[in-house]
């Protein structure tokens, strides 16, 4: 079983020479992956993309390139949404920027893949199609088959690529996939459970 070490890092970069204690502590815990995370922090600082608040890092698994790609694609998708529909920065940080929506396996290039596959979403918004109609279009094209038996063959949550290829799964697999779809095209989305 893979050991995932999730940690919350506060990125409050006041100057290029000063690393906040919380960030330094998290970097110390990352062990051999520290240089990878330092590349990510350098990339964020270089581009002026400081992210105040909490950001979760899988500090033992994701490479710097993968994190940087996710950050860049999130900013790019957010900027592609017409201004009247674009989320504010806090909403962006909370509901577009995260690279994981639940506990799905991490995969390189998943955000890029979904952004390309669903590139028509921001295009429709740009053409003035109402948001509800655009969201309905995503739902109509989403073929999903609920099956409890999927865990007999795949005991862990399905990854974005796996779910995209197969489409059977639990409700949580479908929700996770759709959250990743909407985030990949710059629309805020979250995975919330409402008890019934």
Looking at residue 41, its pLDDT comes to: 67
d(CA 120, CA 125): 9
pLDDT at residue 180 tops 60: yes
pLDDT at residue 57 tops 50: no
Q: Which position has the higher pLDDT, 188 or 9?
A: 188
Kindly report, residue by residue over 63-92, the tens digit of the pLDDT: 778 888 999 999 999 999 999 999 999 899
Local confidence band at 61 (pLDDT 50, 70, 90 cut-offs) = low
8 Å CB contact between 158 and 173: yes
Q: Which position has the higher pLDDT, 39 or 104?
A: 104
Considering only 9-13, 102-106, 135-139, 149-153, which range has the smallest mean pLDDT?
Answer: 9-13
Q: Which two tokens stand for residue 62?
A: 């994701």
d(CA 161, CA 79): 25
Kindly report, residue by residue over 151-178, the tens digit of the pLDDT: 777 777 888 888 888 877 788 888 899 9
Q: Which two tokens stand for residue 112?
A: 């890029």
What are the backbone angles phi and psi of residue 117, rounded to the nearest 5°? -65, -35
Looking at residue 73, its pLDDT comes to: 95
pLDDT at residue 124 tops 70: yes
Local confidence band at 60 (pLDDT 50, 70, 90 cut-offs) = low
8 Å CB contact between 45 and 68: no
d(CA 164, CA 167): 6
pLDDT at residue 46 tops 70: no
Local confidence band at 141 (pLDDT 50, 70, 90 cut-offs) = confident
DSSP calls for 110-176: HHHHHHHHTTHHHHHHHTT--HHHHHHHHHHH---EE-TTHHHH--SPPPHHHHHHH-EE-HHHHHH
**In the block, which residue shows the tokens 């698994």?**
61
């Amino acid at each position: 079983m893979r050991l995932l070490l999730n940690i919350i890092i506060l990125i409050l970069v006041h100057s290029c020479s000063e690393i906040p204690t919380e960030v330094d502590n998290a970097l110390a815990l990352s062990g051999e992956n520290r240089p990878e995370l330092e590349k990510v922090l350098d990339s964020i600082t270089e581009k002026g993309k400081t992210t105040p608040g909490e950001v979760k890092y899988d500090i033992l698994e994701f490479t710097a390139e993968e994190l940087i790609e996710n950050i860049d694609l999130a900013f790019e998708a957010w900027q592609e949404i017409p201004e009247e529909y674009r989320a504010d920065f806090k909403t962006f940080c909370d509901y577009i920027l995260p690279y994981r929506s639940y506990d799905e396996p991490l995969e390189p290039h998943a955000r890029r893949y979904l952004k390309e596959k669903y590139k028509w979403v921001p295009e429709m918004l740009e053409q003035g199609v109402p948001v509800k109609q655009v969201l309905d279009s995503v739902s109509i094209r989403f073929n999903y088959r609920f099956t409890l038996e999927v865990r007999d063959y795949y005991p862990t949550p399905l990854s974005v690529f796996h779910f995209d290829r197969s489409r059977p799964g639990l409700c949580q697999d479908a929700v996770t996939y759709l959250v990743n779809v909407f985030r990949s095209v710059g629309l805020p989305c979250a995975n919330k459970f409402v008890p019934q």
